[in-house]
Amino acid sequence: MAADVIAQGEFLYLGSRLKRLAEQLQGDVVRAANAAGVPIQPGQYPLLATLEAGAASIGEIAQAMRMSQPAITRNVDRLVRSGLVDVLPSRADRRQRVVSLSIAGREALARAKTSVSPRVEEAVRALAADLSGPLLEQIATLESRLAERSLGERIRAQGADRLERAMDADIPAIVTLMNAAYRGTGAAASWCSEADFIAGDRTNAAWLRAEIAANSDAALMVWRRADGAIQGSVWLEPKGEGLWYLGSLAIDPGVQNSGLGRRLLALAEARIAAQGGREVMMNVINIRESLIAWYERRGYRPCGETASFPYGDDRFGIPKRGDLYFVTLRKSLAEPACTG
């Protein structure tokens, strides 16, 4: 194998060595962003983050980022072509261009903040942990650690058991997932499908968006596999005094025997506990005995509470029988669940 001339050059080739390291890191970040459906290149994040505070001229962006105006102009032009920023004449001076985030840019940046940036930051923080000594030794340590385990592998490990808040762009995929999980039929149906006693879709995009808009304290959470595809979702909503509602737990029927349902439920409970929640409640249709038993094995208990089924509201589907109602299950996150 040929010698590593760049590393052997020490300070003579320091710039090339840092550039090589940066390209390696950024390449893995690009792949993580692509897997999460985020169309942002690593070098574009600082410029987009600068625009979060509001529209700015090329000169103002250059000053804030300590870069030349020609470099900022090139970056802005690329962002315009990708649809992430808009460039319009300034109202105060029509000769000056003002750059602002487009709707797509805000959406992409918001998605990056929830599904990419935290994982990248954690992975890089772990990669650079405990670095000490002269600069060249620190660089060599980083190179050695990356040779053993790439940043991409570290990023994927950070996201292996993580729930993320759903973005508006996720809604169509979540609707498909929930309808498959709750109303699927035939060979592709899940073991907990309601199709035998409720016809029609479980939800649709308009209704789901309306629910999210009407419940600002609630969170529709998703679980993604490495390529960004959504394989699970759950609705979490605080009810006050430490009580949280957990609903619409949905798992891709194709992976329901993988243990993902248990993992998703545990992650949801951990998220609730981290936000001060002490008890979880949910409503399950009374005749879904196997599903109620599944939750009971995980500490949930019926405590005598019930709720009426919304007959006449076709948003929830069309019931095929008239004896449906909801059984309320509860679980304490701090003490044993009730045994009623």
Residues 172 and 105 in one domain: no
For the beta carbon of residue 55, count every other beta carbon within 10 angstroms: 17
Per-residue pLDDT averaged across 133-162, rounded? 86
Per-residue pLDDT averaged across 223-234, rounded? 83
pTM exceeds 0.85 for this model: no
26 against 113, higher pLDDT: 26
CATH number for position 173 = 3.40.630.30
**CA end-to-end distance (rounded Å), the chain:** 71
DSSP summary character for residue 336:
P
CATH number for position 121 = 1.10.10.10
Alpha carbons 42 and 31: distance in angstroms, whole number: 10
What was the pLDDT predicted at 227? 65
Residues 192 and 73 in one domain: no
Residue 160: pLDDT above 60?
Answer: no
Residues 145 and 170 in one domain: no
The residue segments making up the domain with residue 226 are 164-332
Alpha carbons 293 and 208: distance in angstroms, whole number: 28
